[in-house]
Structure 1
């Protein structure tokens, strides 16, 4: 495990914390027969005297507090002395205002210490809450395996959770799962697909990836992010229906194109941490002029409750960490099918409204396509929302307005005009400003042709 620490941190930067070794009675706090001998064998095998290392280091020059589990020492399990080291790491991060990076490989709480071991989860949770309240980031790397309470209170509670490919991840370890449980559900890839992780990172990219995250978190963008410039030179639409058609055009630039043009680096964040992932949402931390901005971008689909819960999580995370927010609005509206209702569409959308309304950091919003009703408005910053010329924003889609009013399909274009949904209508109503494309570069005069040598 020290080898992993050396590979991930800047050369020679890791310094182990001095933690007083807790005195324990023979065979531990509950007198487990042979426990002292078991620990002695684990120490001989690993060269360590506990299941976790705690210290300070730098990643890309950024100081961090580092926790690294030693799985070879009793399965990386948490006992009282483990809790002492973890608590010391959290206390150091709080005192020095540093990010906490945890390299987790654990089977859970140590049965040889009984309830005294299980109670370490409460200690860790209190310390994690203190770091969260202080606005200090917590990052976790899940190795194989990461199970039990170590996953729940260290990995699951982290602001940013990464995992190695194929890592076994789950609250239930491999020997205590229900008979017939699908092993694929207990993998890093499964947890990524169900919104519980931010990324699965290959081992050879882990150092670079961790460094990118901690560097970004250390450099928040100052002030309010400017709205992105339009990626097309589309004219303002003459009619409401023309605005709708322009926003729905297949060739119109989407969120991925805007993010790539606006940022020089993108670090993904994703998932609602409750088993849901919306593929129609892009979230993460982007670097602009070397500074970090959190982004939440709709991709032109009807967002699900999981998408809105993810957006709320990311916006609140940005607020805690002091990162401004950019939202890109592009949705025909929130998903309204039966599955969305059963998944709590109303409360999820409401929570996104609340997260944005109470964000303690600047928020900039840009409508880049369809702005469909409450599903779009939930991500619109009050007083700082902008619109591209090929977008619209409406209380309801014209087709749905026709259905409610029992109007024929032929009336839909007229209703689009009546809804005043064009970018210039939004500006006149005080709802949004209009962003303009950057000026075309002036054409330089052609260089004078070289003189004809024969004319001299």
Structure 2
């Protein structure tokens, strides 16, 4: 890796010129062993800092933000009691001042010279971050090389969003410690940033020189631009042919969630995985603004499914991360239904597919954030239904929802697939029918087909979504009872 930036250098690179204000007081070294004090003094001379942690506030592209940062040149960035006091005070001040928080980790973990009294400070640090998040404030962690031990197990892993610098070592157990304890080398590549992003532990790899722009995008994505203008959903025909609608939603050219975001969203911050070692390509999770209205997007990705990625249990766990994130950040969640159906396999069964559908339904019905559902295209099975409960539901004209693909329903009832069109009609799968029953609130016209008029359709849809998100921002989260009662027909 290139030479490591110091914490002060990185802070200067991130924040607007002249905006940094330090919150740090000189550490109290009274009562410490003289030999340890001498070691601290040597670390101070080497690093130019009085401790391994810096805290303060500034502005980033004009937006106020608090920063906590670790400096590796001060005793390998280790965290003792004085550093913990500084961390906790900084996090608590950020909470009191209502500031988003950026954590720049770079540490070997707990300071071994202080042992257990330093080790137990992890409890206080974790509690301070939990309180910051509970206040509805954003925390973004940036893992620098290296980040291990107690730092990785507290403020390194507690961000709603987590990035790492390229090639950074980030993990709980340092390779040198593993080798000493077990007499063998730790498998290479496991704790490297790029691998952690691939398996869904972190949200991405960002070079230090790109971090300012990424953080600015995150902060903008959480900012609301006032009320959205009224929108026109277009005129939907009085009657639709069910099988024609189903067929239209299966066209390869039909726009999906990524097309919607590309055309109608700004400040898109795509996230990766569950933060617990699972990723899912068939599920898109992002923070974005649609018409200036921030939301967490949890969308089934038709393009990824077309490439062979399955909507399995991990995808539903990623979705549940999204629901929780929206509730924490106090912005609406937008679910997008557009799937051929959940994964059917032994691996999906062993991964608790049915249980995850149930938990996804439960989490969405009880979500503490306002919820907006979008039926965009195909809606096959329980994996589609798991994204449906919402305070408001919008549907594309040809969207539909069914217990199974019509061909599957035909196979059960008629023992062939020849009656798929008949079954689709009989099962009343169309979103326009659900609108008539009060399940769907608004239907966006396709003239005559979203695949043939993608820009115009997405513009209409984007306007409707912006208006609905604006209303939800004002109204707040609905109740579980209200969300479920719309199905009592």
Query: Same fold judged by TM-score > 0.5?
Result: yes
After superposition, what is the alpha-carbon deviation per residue over 1:308-334, rounded to whole angstroms, capped at 9, x for unaligned? 111111111111211112221111222
1:214 Cα deviation after fit: 2.0
Q: Distance in 2 between matches of 1:236 and 1:148?
A: 63
1:209 partnered with 2:214: yes
Does the 8 A contact of 2:397 with 2:446 survive in 1? no
Report the secondary structure of 1:392's partner residue. coil
Q: Distance in 1 between matches of 2:249 and 2:445?
A: 16
Counterpart in the other structure of 1:423: 431
Q: Give 4+ residue runs of structure 1 displaced > 6 Å after superposition.
A: 223-230, 233-237, 438-441
**More displaced stretch, 300-309 vs 220-229:** 220-229
1:11 partnered with 2:17: yes
Given candidates 355, 358, 373, the residue that maps to 1:350 is: 358
After superposition, what is the alpha-carbon deviation per residue over 1:356-389, rounded to whole angstroms, capped at 9, x for unaligned? 2122332222111111122111112335222212
Q: Distance in 2 between matches of 1:92 and 1:54?
A: 10
Q: Distance in 2 between matches of 1:226 and 1:181?
A: 58
Alignment of 1:244-259 (within 5 A): 244-259=246-261
Alignment of 1:362-401 (within 5 A): 362-382=370-390, 384-401=392-409
1:436 partnered with 2:445: yes
TM-score (norm 2): 0.83
1:125 Cα deviation after fit: 1.0
Alignment of 1:232-381 (within 5 A): 238-300=240-302, 301=305, 302-381=310-389
CA RMSD of aligned residues (A): 2.6
1:98 Cα deviation after fit: 1.0
Counterpart in the other structure of 2:28: 22
Does the 8 A contact of 2:299 with 2:337 survive in 1? yes
Counterpart in the other structure of 2:71: 70
1:191 partnered with 2:196: yes
Report the secondary structure of 2:288's partner residue. strand
Report the secondary structure of 1:172's partner residue. coil
Alignment of 1:93-112 (within 5 A): 93-112=94-113
Does the 8 A contact of 2:226 with 2:292 survive in 1? no
Q: Any gaps of 5 or more consecutive residues in structure 1?
A: 29-33, 442-456
Counterpart in the other structure of 1:444: none
Counterpart in the other structure of 2:418: 410
After superposition, what is the alpha-carbon deviation per residue over 1:159-191, rounded to whole angstroms, capped at 9, x for unaligned? 111111111111111212352432211111111
1:346 Cα deviation after fit: 2.7
Q: Distance in 2 between matches of 1:227 and 1:313?
A: 30
Does the 8 A contact of 1:227 with 1:386 survive in 2? no
Rg larger in 1 or in 2?
1
Aligned length: 433
Counterpart in the other structure of 1:37: 38
Q: Distance in 2 between matches of 1:392 and 1:225?
A: 28
Q: Distance in 1 between matches of 2:149 and 2:288?
A: 33
- Over 3 Å counting, the alpha-carbon distance change for 1:160 and 1:225 in structure 2 is farther
- Over 3 Å counting, the alpha-carbon distance change for 1:265 and 1:211 in structure 2 is closer
Q: Any gaps of 5 or more consecutive residues in structure 2?
A: 1-6, 457-489
Report the secondary structure of 1:264's partner residue. strand
Counterpart in the other structure of 1:120: 121
Q: Distance in 2 between matches of 1:87 and 1:10?
A: 24
Q: Distance in 2 between matches of 1:95 and 1:363?
A: 28
- Over 3 Å counting, the alpha-carbon distance change for 1:402 and 1:228 in structure 2 is farther
- Over 3 Å counting, the alpha-carbon distance change for 1:359 and 1:222 in structure 2 is farther
Report the secondary structure of 2:175's partner residue. coil
- Over 3 Å counting, the alpha-carbon distance change for 1:163 and 1:105 in structure 2 is same
Q: Distance in 1 between matches of 2:379 and 2:270?
A: 24
- Over 3 Å counting, the alpha-carbon distance change for 1:53 and 1:259 in structure 2 is same
Does the 8 A contact of 1:110 with 1:117 survive in 2? yes
